[in-house]
Amino acid sequence: MAYSEKVIDHYENPRNVGSFKKDDEGVATGMVGAPACGDVMKLQIKVNKHGIIEDAKFKTYGCGSAIASSSLVTEWVKGKSVDEAATIKNTQIAAELALPPVKIHCSILAEDAIKAAIADYRKKYGAGEEATAQAQPAMKAAD
Amino acid sequence: MSSKNPIYLDYSATTPVDPRVAEKMIPWLTERFGNPASRSHPFGWEAEQAVENARVEVAKLVNADSKEIVWTSGATESDNLALKGAAHFYKTKGKHLITMKTEHKAVLDTMRELEREGFDVTYMDPRPDGLLDLEKLKAAIRPDTIVVSIMMVNNEIGVIQPIAEIGEITRAKGIIFHVDAAQATGKVAIDLEKLKVDLMSFSAHKTYGPKGIGALYVRRKPRVRLEAQMHGGGHEKGLRSGTLATHQIVGMGEAFRIARLEMGAENERIRVLRDKLLAGFRDMEEIYVNGDLEKRVPHNLNVSFNYVEGESLIMGMKELAVSSGSACTSASLEPSYVLRALGRNDELAHSSIRFTLGRFTTEADIDFAVKLIKERIGKLREMSPLWEMYKDGIDLNTVQWAAH
């Protein structure tokens, strides 16, 4: 499959790979997808007391487009307020990476991952804003 | 590395034409261009002689009579001719055919077509090691079973089916036994005087011959009858009309001659390399070999690297030309149907890589591949949330995933 240079760049040099400790101050986690479908994304944000996303990390199991989509969104959410981050749309991700039609689901998953992380943040820290998005944590792990 | 071609470890997809084969083919394209069916001049006579010499070479590799070899365009056509030809000829005897879920699409899709025509097909599950369970085969045979079709060597996992034993079962019941041997020639000794096989499909391009040429073995004693699928000038005793492609046929003959002479030594050399490749993975966690390792051609190693997705794996190994069990080309992922039939879950099927070695694989290629794979698997696992969960001791089966 022919990928755009941007996808290949993110795949070969993924930004912000890793994990924060789940219970660290300001950390929220979103995990979306399913192994049987071939993609799982974990996106974590670290929000400061002003409601700004200071840092973000991801881990993704999936194809090159899924890895690139999640790598890209970690770059995009950094420095944004939680509310601003919630407005990122999958179409922007797909356009930036020039994803082919069969890979659009990867950008949708990345948008879901942001929303899931923000929902987790609001649940944990009760940040007051009206509940954005229909997103919910996709994973109820046994941990 | 970037300007160089990747290392080719996909010999089960196709092989390069051996230079000795290519050299033999060339004159038959240019100065010796006659139609083997031309009876009125030497151009035709010498082409016919070349075709017959090649027929003898193909027959010799499998210990058959050259009169039992019919030229086709490849194993797909051979499978079509064998299955449709036999089903149509013997349809008054019965309507039931038996095959396996792990067969090549050339057999499975032909079976589907026969079902549309009103035949009844049983698709047998393999055992978890990929092999056919003979007791289950016996149980699946019905009074109206006319054909059993089982491949000799599986294209994905390289396992060798018990062809001799199946032949005893089918012959005793007067059932036609077809074997797709596209992946077997030059890798497994085939003796059609001993094996009770009635029809056998061959391909040239899996055995260092050219693409676009194959053959079907049609047993004469006891005689097997087929209904032709291609009509025209009555070539190949009416079984397959169409002008014979002399240069392709000469190439297949030479490729099979070389295979007969060199396969013993070549297979041992390749086995050492394959075992070295496998040994290179031994210290890695969560590695699963797909298919039985003993009843297997030495050329094949099919491995699942758990917690790493197949397409990203292929992308991460662009210095290697290999195949993945994951066909991630559409929105709905389709993992390998062969691995699924073995009972592998979707994740393991998605994370599989097929390495197939061949005549021109070197020890340096294997050393390079092992080093590269370890490095890239390590990198992808560091990036994988599933690997992280596995390392944290979370049983992924207890996680409730959101389907998407």
A60-72 residue pLDDT tens: 999 899 999 999 9
Alpha carbon distance B215, B226 (integer Å): 14
pLDDT tier for residue B369 given thresholds of 50, 70 and 90: very high
Mean pLDDT throughout B301-329? 84
Mean pLDDT throughout B130-134? 98
Alpha carbon distance B180, B105 (integer Å): 11
pLDDT tier for residue B334 given thresholds of 50, 70 and 90: confident
Question: What residues contact residue B185 under an 8 Å CB cut-off, 6+ apart?
Answer: B61, B62, B202, B203, B206, B207, B256, B259
**Residues B238-260: pLDDT tens digits?**
999 999 999 999 999 999 999 99
pLDDT at residue B403, as a whole number: 58
pLDDT at residue B376, as a whole number: 94
pLDDT at residue B385, as a whole number: 95
B324 near B310, Cβ under 8 Å?
A: yes
> Which residues on chain B are in Cβ contact (under 8 Å) with A36?
345-347, 401
In a mutational test of the B interface, the residue from A12, A31, A63, A67 whose CB has the highest number of chain B CBs within 10 Å is A63
* Alpha-carbon separation of residue A25 from A16, A55, A83, A99, B87 (angstroms): 19, 12, 19, 35, 71
Alpha carbon distance B349, B102 (integer Å): 14
**Residues B156-171: pLDDT tens digits?**
999 999 999 999 999 9
Give the minimum alpha-carbon distance from B395 to chain A in angstroms, rounded to a whole number.
Answer: 8
pLDDT at residue B400, as a whole number: 82
Mean pLDDT throughout B271-282? 97
For the annotated catalytic residues of A, the residue numbers are 37, 106
Q: Please tell me the least confidently modeled range out of B42-56, B90-104, B293-307, B330-344.
A: B330-344
B62 near B190, Cβ under 8 Å?
A: yes
Q: Please tell me the least confidently modeled range out of A2-16, B102-116, B153-167, B323-337.
A: B323-337
pLDDT reading at B47 higher than 60? yes
**Residues A93-126: pLDDT tens digits?**
999 999 999 899 999 999 999 999 999 999 998 7
pLDDT reading at B318 higher than 50? yes
Say if residue B342 is exposed, middle or buried (CB neighbours under 10 Å; 0-12, 13-18, 19+): buried
Q: What is the model's pTM?
A: 0.90
What is the residue-averaged pLDDT of chain B? 94
* Alpha-carbon separation of residue B79 from B67, B75, B86, B216 (angstroms): 19, 6, 10, 8
* Alpha-carbon separation of residue B100 from A119, B13, B34, B155 (angstroms): 49, 20, 42, 13
pLDDT reading at A56 higher than 60? yes
Q: CB–CB of A141 and B394 under 8 A? A: yes
Name which residue leads in pLDDT, B49 or B312: B49
pLDDT tier for residue A135 given thresholds of 50, 70 and 90: very low
> Which residues on chain B are in Cβ contact (under 8 Å) with A13?
none
Closest CA relative to residue A44, chosen from A70, A80, A7, A83:
A70
pLDDT tier for residue B324 given thresholds of 50, 70 and 90: confident
Which stretches does DSSP call E strand in chain A? 27-34, 39-47, 53-61
Mean pLDDT throughout B97-120? 98
Q: Which residue of A has its CA nearest to B331?
A: A102
pLDDT at residue A138, as a whole number: 44
Per-residue burial over B160-189, b if 16 or more Cβ lie within 10 Å, else e, is bbbbeebbebbbeeebbbbbbbbbbbbbbe
**Residues B171-186: pLDDT tens digits?**
999 999 999 999 999 9
* Tokens 């297979």, residue located: B267
* Alpha-carbon separation of residue A18 from A131, B127, B356, B370 (angstroms): 28, 40, 34, 26
Q: Which residue of B has its CA nearest to A70?
A: B383
